[in-house]
Amino acid sequence: MLPTPVSMDTTEFRKRGKEMVDYIADYFEQLDKRQVYPDVEPGYLRPLIPDSAPQEPESFEDVLKDVERIIMPGVTHWHSPYFFAYFPTASSFPALLADILSGGIGCIGFSWAASPACTELETVMLDWLGKMINLPEEFLAGKDGEGGGVIQGSASEATLVTLLAARTKTIRCVQSENPELTEADIMSKLVAYASDQAHSSVERAGLIGGVKIKNIPSDDKFTVRGSALKKVLHEDRAAGLIPFFFCATLGTTPCCSFDRLLELGPICNKENIWMHIDAAYAGSAFICPEFRHLLNGVEFADSFNFNPHKWLLVNFDCSAMWVKKRSDLTNAFKLDPLYLQHCHQESGLVTDYRHWQIPLGRRFRSLKMWFVFRMYGVKGLQEYIRKVTFFYFMGKFVLEMGREEGLNKNPHLCAFCICTPACINKACCTAQFMQGPAFHPMSYHGSYDHWGHSH
């Protein structure tokens, strides 16, 4: 039984739980009436709450009252129909309900034994999702595959984890051929690559991983071509560096460009470079057969990642990552203290996801996928993706018309980012004017919007 505050036993929890669901349902029903971007000033909250935690228990009513009084005035409403900043973040009622269940079960599934259902559902859900986007069989766990999927918290973590795994693999490989080299010698020569349009999380992975990251110049379509990668590899090898990792982007943050996997993949394979694909935002679209061709070339990759929490109706956090060889992760990250061991771990029948990620603990996040996939069905999810892309194209049309009319002279519209996810934002630019600033700046090859205007 859970330890309960004076004011909440299971009877009270049933009552308050229903009230909370009502509160959230009301929130969604009334969301369009809330101001999307709060007009509070920095430091607004501290004067509204006591300096320290209360000594005596307070009632649920009092806490909920303060949610409206203190919290809501400072919330940026990401799910408001007037929110067009950053990127869309997914939300659906099935995922919300699954999250309640996940919190209720409250297990920490770091190993199979720590909660078998938590591990096994995740493996199966990643196979379901992999099949939805038609990933090559090698990325699926199946019953005895060498690959498989895992839920990371974010695309940034996926890039970091794969970069670190690639780093370890390369160091061991170089050391086996050159035993005189120390790990530090090799580390100082390692170099990873990504497009000059790649998300900053790739550079950050290099910072955390202690390796150089170089930008590969993209072409006039903001795409990395095989020839550009080849040129840099040639120069770096000649300078004695050791190329080991390339992060391709499908759906770049500034403008949703797609690197040329079919050119880049064979080069990486030939040069023994780990190719990771970051499709954080755009990846959800691959569930529609008409967009799947954009993923062609994934067969050359070692790892692939996208965020169902961005566009596939699974609430944050849920970043799906697949590897062709699970041993690349376990070889890099496996540590086995006695207190985490269990009797099935060497059976070959189970996955211990703690070896696939940075933290030890992990939530039961696959419940969200299971609820969403079952309650929408693949067809429902495809329909949802198509609806969003339809709005994008409609919005693009409206914007082009606006441009003809000179609307782009409006500073709000000009400063308004036209990034990957913001392609959708862009579609709704008129609403932007009505609701105040909810935008972020973006640049491509030094220009600040997609017509090449600098501001």
Ligand X SMILES: Cc1ncc(COP(=O)(O)O)c(C=O)c1O
Which of 298, 275, 303, 276 has the alpha carbon at shortest distance from 286? 298
Determine if 278 is a binding residue for ligand X (CB under 6 A).
Answer: yes
Nearer to ligand X, 155 or 314 (CB): 155
The vertex-226 CA angle with 221 and 227, nearest 5°, equals 90
Tell me whether residue 121 or residue 205 sits nearer to ligand X (CB atom): 205
**Is 420 one of the binding residues for ligand X (CB under 6 A)?**
yes
Q: Are strands 303-306 and 190-195 parallel, antiparallel or unpaired?
A: unpaired
Shortest Cβ distance from residue 310 to ligand X (Å)?
7
Under the binding rule (CB under 6 A), the answer on residue 319 touching ligand X is yes
Q: Which is nearer to ligand X, 129 or 155 (CB)?
A: 155
Nearest approach, Cβ of residue 58 and ligand X (Å): 34
3-state secondary structure of 149: strand
* Backbone CA torsion sign across 94, 100, 104, 109: positive
Q: What CA–CA distance (Å, rounded) separates 244 from 234?
A: 13
* 28-57 binders of ligand X (CB under 6 A): none
Amino acid letter at 422? A
Token pair listed for 226: 């095989």
**How far is residue 276's CA from residue 198's CA, in Å, rounded to a whole number?**
12
Closer CB to ligand X, residue 111 or residue 307? 307
Site string for ligand X, 153-192 (x = CB under 6 A): -xxx------------------------------------
Task: Kindly report each contact of residues 400-407 with a partner whose C-beta sits within 8 Å and lies 24 or more positions away, as own/partner.
Answer: 402/429, 403/451
Q: Which of 82, 281, 356, 444 binds ligand X (CB under 6 A)?
A: 281
Extract the tokens encoding 333: 């990250």
In 74-145, where do the E strands start and end? Answer: none
Among 98, 280, 423, 424, binds ligand X (CB under 6 A): 280
Q: Exactly one of 169, 199, 276, 368 binds ligand X (CB under 6 A); which one?
A: 199
Nearest distance in Å: CB 170, ligand X: 23
Contact status: 195 vs ligand X (CB under 6 A): no
Q: Contact between 87 and ligand X (CB under 6 A)?
A: yes
Q: How far is the CB of 163 from ligand X (least distance, A)?
A: 13
Stretch that binds ligand X, among 208-216, 277-285, 358-366, 396-404 (CB under 6 A): 277-285
**What DSSP letter does each residue of 353-401 carry, written as one string?**
GGGGSSSS----THHHHHHHHHHHHHHHHHHHHHHHHHHHHHHHHHHHH
| 307 interacts with ligand X by CB under 6 A | yes
Please list every residue from 219 through 258 that binds ligand X, using CB under 6 A. 249, 251-253
Binding site for ligand X (CB under 6 A): 87, 154-156, 199, 201, 249, 251-253, 278, 280-281, 307, 319, 420
